[in-house]
Structure 1
Amino acid sequence: MRYWLACLVTLALAGCDEDLVFPPPLPEGNVLKLTTSEGGAIDVVGASASLGQCSKYEFASDCFRFTGGDVATLTPVPDPGFVFDGFTGACTGTTDCMLPMSGSKAVTARFIHADYNFAAVMPAIDQYLQSHRQFAGAGVAIVHKDKGVVFEDVTGNQIFDTVALAASASKVPAAGILMTLMDEGHIKPNTPISDYTYWKPVIPGMTIEHTLSNTSGMPGLLSHSGDLGIYTPHVCTFLKFGDFKHCAEWVFSTDFGKDYVAPGTVFNYGGAQWQIAGAVAERNTRTAWRHLVRTRLSEPCDLSILRFGLNDTREWTGHPDSLVETKNPYIEAGAIGNLRDFEKILMLHLNDGECNGQQVISPERVAEMQVDRGTPAGKHPTARLGSSGHWGFPSGYGMGWWIKLNEDGSDPTIFYDAGAYGSLVLMDIERDYGIYVQLEDYRFPPDPDDGEIGIEDLINLMLPILEAQFPVTNPID
């Protein structure tokens, strides 16, 4: 059961690749590859040349060339508010490193914020990895609304530059892009989609809000009966040929009888309803989705990797250029990103839609994404059937965000999204922090000894550690 989402696309096309994705090899020659977490820099002395960024997509790594017999001197320089936590790799310890360069070597330098004690984070991650053996490593980033990135670390096969398939964690950036178009007046959340197109609606009254909250009335990834497997009539969602318009028109206008119900009456996660939202966005702006991603989110927030395509694990190598690009991108689950991208996406939402001093999404739209539309407890008047207990605890759904519901009925403060390959995006708007845990397992079929992905296990491990470091600073009435 746990891998039906992870391999949904590739099963439809021919099956999943069993190979794991590993970090790139060291450069050839006497080259020092220096990878640095957020929070400081390393002063390198003795190099014959600075090569700059090691490769096009290694944004956390710089390379330096040395002649034979040279010694590299590495001196940590923390940013204000940070302290140096130590070297790993060819250097170790917490002081200057003198490194003979007899060949290519790799060093990672880690800084931590002086105001926090995150010593328990990586042991908890290791505990999770030991009980979920399908994952060969993890990357972790923690951000604070006002202080920015306060913690980064990696373990196992993950490096600070690892690029991962986000799977369903794609929904938060996708919904955010659509929020910017609402702010600009290109689309409205409650206007029937049929008002924007000539498509004949099988479900009258379906809106963009319905599609982004998985309450459109059409099947999501599964039929309403919950049968395991792709909802076959919507298979165009998972094909690399075609485009948004033709796929969206097909699923919007073709009557599949009992499988379609009134909008706002059933929560059914994911699937082709998101393609409809993307197609309307392209039509109303006369702009391709990839350009909307770049201009509405990547450029204003300085995202280095984020892009959308088809998450075909048979072709994915870990290199961004291996993403299958298509005119019908899988916007609810087809994004790629890295630690730095998701740090900035979390900061965008914690700061009420602001990036780099620019209002990218209005505070009102950010708040609308957090309104529960997926459960009977939702305040939205069309909420009916819900998702309570989906992750092992009561959960609602907004637009792009899962919502951790409080048992006492108080307003929720924790919002999260999780991908089928393992990654988790989570924020607490009452404590002003966010965390991104990057995990990757693209194998199929799974090893029966691995156990479930267990996102709820990861959340339950992390929340006590984070709550101990971040007091309530923004009480939600």
Structure 2
Amino acid sequence: MRLFRIALMSLLLLSLSSCKVGRFFVYNFAGIKDYKIFPSRTIEKGDSTFYFTQGVEKKPKTISYKDKELSFEEFLIEQKTVAFLVIKNDSILYENYFNKYEEEAIVASFSMAKSVTSILIGIAIDEGLILSVNEPVTKYIPELKANGFDKVTLKHLLQMTSGLDYNEGYANPFGDVATFYYGTKLRKEIPKMKLKYEPEEKFDYASGSTQILGLVLERALKDQSISSYLQEKLWIPLEMEFDASWSIDRKKNGLEKTFCCLNARARDFAKIGRLYLNKGNWNGKQIVSEEWVAESTKYDVSEGSANHYQYQWWIPSENGDFMARGILGQYIYVHPEKDLIIVRLGKKEGKVDWFSVLPKIGKAY
């Protein structure tokens, strides 16, 4: 009888595995190796590679945590870190990998992909494929008109002030996150989205906003995929060290999950930070406009925006620093005044607030 129940449950799980609820129960909870379970598009590196120079190692001797002093490595390991890089003036001052991870290990970005999506929107505006952040989203997704989205602009989506009705919780197999993360029909789900608030009424972090921007970008690109655009405009020009991939919702004609799921290595994530540290310029070539970078990383509360969030980037202070951020503790922290980049990747967030810890670590440099 026990074997029969196990077999029955296995069949049930297999039958569900093609739908979002089944995937939720089979794969729950999200992990940094989820790039293995989703179809994806490859993003190829170019012929040339930029390498950060190797500097003299520098690190905090100890970290105070829970009323005890730990060595820096002990602290990182205890917080489930798999990669930690500190780069200053283009020199690697600290690089370490843990839990059987190494420099070639792929890690899913989760919501750090939101910041990359923002960069691509900025480039599309520079190229005239999108005219302005003030355009209504319904210009690109007219199906949303029926749900009152005529008053929602691309800027509202970038700022997370659109008023979108979206449940960000990862624990609900029937919720919006399960639909967007595990679902296979994003283009059909996006037009079903509704509004909960008036635009600019409040900041409300919603991954659905970034996925709507993803569909906007796809339609603005017309015959080019988002992954191909990323390869052409960022991955090759930034002289990435490794190929990457972007998970899509379905194998045939899939849409990139732009709110998450860019899969790459720590050093290449650091190059995203270097691009913005240098105001969108890469070794003399302007990849994305300086104005876009400034708008994306300023400390501002106008038009209903939150002072800690701009254009899909997090702003931890008024000191000019900013970061890309993803669940389970994926971070690209940038402090331009210090010429500093920190990348932290993890299996879990751990029991610390990296949003405040990374700037404190940065002070040591």
Q: Is the 8 A contact 1:416 1:426 kept in 2?
A: yes
Greater shift in the superposed pair: 155-164 or 340-349: 155-164
Alignment pair present for 1:176 and 2:119: yes
- The aligned counterpart of 1:260 is 196
Q: Structure 2: which amino acid aligns with 1:440?
A: K
Alignment pair present for 1:279 and 2:215: yes
Change over 3 Å in CA distance of 1:296–1:121 after alignment to 2: farther
- The aligned counterpart of 1:35 is none
How much does 1:236 deviate?
Answer: 4.3
In structure 2, C-alpha distance between the alignment counterparts of 1:14 and 1:428, rounded to whole Å: 40
Match of 1:248 among 187, 190, 207: 190
Comparing both chains, which one has the higher relative contact order based on Cα–Cα distances under 8 Å and sequence gaps of 6 or more? 2
Change over 3 Å in CA distance of 1:277–1:16 after alignment to 2: same
Please identify the structure whose Cα radius of gyration is greater.
Answer: 1
Q: Structure 2: which amino acid aligns with 1:354?
A: N
How much does 1:21 deviate?
Answer: 7.9
- The aligned counterpart of 1:218 is 164
In structure 1, C-alpha distance between the alignment counterparts of 2:182 and 2:216, rounded to whole Å: 19
- The aligned counterpart of 1:466 is 362
- The aligned counterpart of 1:425 is 332
- The aligned counterpart of 1:105 is none
Match of 2:244 among 306, 324, 331: 306
Q: Is the 8 A contact 1:167 1:419 kept in 2?
A: yes
Q: Is the 8 A contact 2:202 2:304 kept in 1?
A: no
Please list every run of at least 4 consecutive aligned residues from structure 1 whose deviation after the TM superposition is greater than 4 angstroms: 9-12, 17-22, 233-236, 323-326, 459-462
Q: Is the 8 A contact 1:368 1:399 kept in 2?
A: yes
- Give me the CA root mean square deviation: 3.5
- The aligned counterpart of 1:341 is 268
- Superposition TM-score, scaled by structure 1 size: 0.59
Query: What is the percentage of aligned positions where both structures have the same residue?
Result: 18
Change over 3 Å in CA distance of 1:279–1:310 after alignment to 2: closer
In structure 2, C-alpha distance between the alignment counterparts of 1:140 and 1:129, rounded to whole Å: 10
Q: Is the 8 A contact 1:10 1:16 kept in 2?
A: no
- Show CA shifts across 1:229-281 (max 9, x none): 4673676423453354x333332xxxx5xx52211212221322212111111
How much does 1:325 deviate?
Answer: 8.6
- Superposition TM-score, scaled by structure 2 size: 0.75
- The aligned counterpart of 2:313 is 401
Q: Structure 1: which amino acid aligns with 2:257?
A: Y
How much does 1:159 deviate?
Answer: 0.7
Bigger share in helix: 2
In structure 2, C-alpha distance between the alignment counterparts of 1:295 and 1:158, rounded to whole Å: 28
Q: Structure 2: which amino acid aligns with 1:204?
A: D
- The aligned counterpart of 2:302 is 380
- Show CA shifts across 1:306-345 (max 9, x none): 332159xxxxxxxxxxx97961221111111111211111
How much does 1:348 deviate?
Answer: 0.5
Which segments of 5 or more consecutive residues in structure 1 lack a partner in the other structure?
1-8, 23-56, 58-78, 83-111, 312-322, 373-377, 387-394, 406-410, 442-451, 470-477
How much does 1:148 deviate?
Answer: 4.7
- The aligned counterpart of 2:351 is 454
- The aligned counterpart of 2:15 is none
Change over 3 Å in CA distance of 1:14–1:412 after alignment to 2: same
